[in-house]
Structure 1
Amino acid sequence: MAHDSHAQPPHPGETLREDVLPALGISVTEMARRLGVARETLSRILHGRAPISPDLAVRLERAGIGRARAWLAVQSDYELWQAEHRTQPVIERFADLA
């Protein structure tokens, strides 16, 4: 596995769990209800076991919790880092397109 000096970016659920929920002073159940998602779904996101979907990102923005594009950018950064640090097949470059 290739490793670089960049630390693993946080899963966006970590930000929701550690920063947003305490700032709002509400429970996971209440946040799930207000966002229109199942509590189990939200719990999986908060613990980094499921991604923030475009639908949830839009709901967060409509609820006044950040911008949808920002949530998706953090999710994308997390997923790209994961992909870059998994074993990948040897890829031959397309020299003419490089």
Structure 2
Amino acid sequence: MMMHSPPHPGKILKSLCFDPLGLSVAEAAEALGINSETLSDLLDGHIAVTPEMAIRLSAAFDTTAESWMNQQAQYDLWQAEQRMGKVKVRKLFPLRLAELS
């Protein structure tokens, strides 16, 4: 379990790309080929970075799609862990490799 709450990728996008570059939502949305409402929702942390959005962001900001997807996965996993708490799960280990094939 992670020890801290990772920021939503939209918050990272805003602080590392939008704020330093002085980008407006309208300007960036047009460059990304999406509508302003969608981009605002992403920046506000209301929607997730999808694989398609990760590709768009990587092309626009010279990053990798994998970095955006990894940030989203870390955020989603932490959120799920908080919701799940202490879940009772019965271990299925050890499984024999022969049983898996």
TM-score (norm 2): 0.83
> Which residue of 77, 92, 95 corresponds with 1:94?
92
Cα deviation, residue 96, structure 1:
2.7
Cα deviation, residue 33, structure 1:
0.8
Unmatched runs of 5 consecutive residues or more in structure 1: none
Report what 2:41 is aligned to. 44
Q: Equivalents in 2 of 1:90, 1:58: separation in Å?
A: 38
Unmatched runs of 5 consecutive residues or more in structure 2: 97-101
Q: Equivalents in 2 of 1:5, 1:25: separation in Å?
A: 32
> Which residue of 61, 65, 68 corresponds with 1:64?
61
Given the superposition, is the C-alpha separation of residues 87 and 6 from structure 1 closer, same or farther in structure 2, using an over 3 Å criterion? same
Larger radius of gyration: 2
Q: Percent identity?
A: 38
Report what 1:17 is aligned to. 14
Specify which structure has the bigger relative contact order, considering alpha-carbon pairs within 8 angstroms and separated by 6 or more residues: 1
Cα deviation, residue 13, structure 1:
0.3
Cα deviation, residue 32, structure 1:
0.7
Q: Deviations over 1:39-78 (max 9, x none)?
A: 1111111011100111011111111342110010010000
What is the root-mean-square deviation of aligned Cα atoms in Å? 1.9
Cα deviation, residue 5, structure 1:
6.9
Identify, as 1 or 2, the structure richer in helix. 2
Report what 1:80 is aligned to. 77
Q: For structure 1, which segment, 14-23 or 69-78, has the greater mean C-alpha deviation from structure 2 after superposition?
A: 14-23
SS at match of 2:6: coil
TM-score (norm 1): 0.85
